[in-house]
Amino acid sequence: MVSKKDVNEIIYRQEIAKDLEDKILAIRIKDFAKKMITVRCYLTLVNKLYYKYHKDGWYLEAIYTYCEAVNELSIELSKFNLRSKGLISFREYLKNYVESQEFIKLFQK
């Protein structure tokens, strides 16, 4: 037997999937995911390097790529008429995050 909680979770996920049927939105999400993969690659590289300044340079590149990707996704999500609670909440979270003093400080460095 399926519980009410399970039904609500299914509906929640189906609503997100419905929003992601918009091909442009799906592309924007995939672009963000690719940039996050790049960030992880840079951070992995940092752990393999020996020279401090070389490590620092790649670490800064990872931070810049991360900030740029998050900011870009926030801007892109604001352009869509989202209907799912999940993506609407995520968009609001990102908006608040990129407007936070911590993120602004990180992005400006």
Domains of the chain, by residue range, sit at 4-108
Q: Does 22 have pLDDT greater than 90?
A: yes
In the chain, alpha helices (H) = 4-19, 23-48, 52-77, 85-98, 101-108
How far, in Å, CA of 103 to CA of 107, rounded?
6
Question: pLDDT of 57-74, one tens digit each?
Answer: 999 999 999 999 999 999
Question: Model-level pTM greater than 0.95?
Answer: no
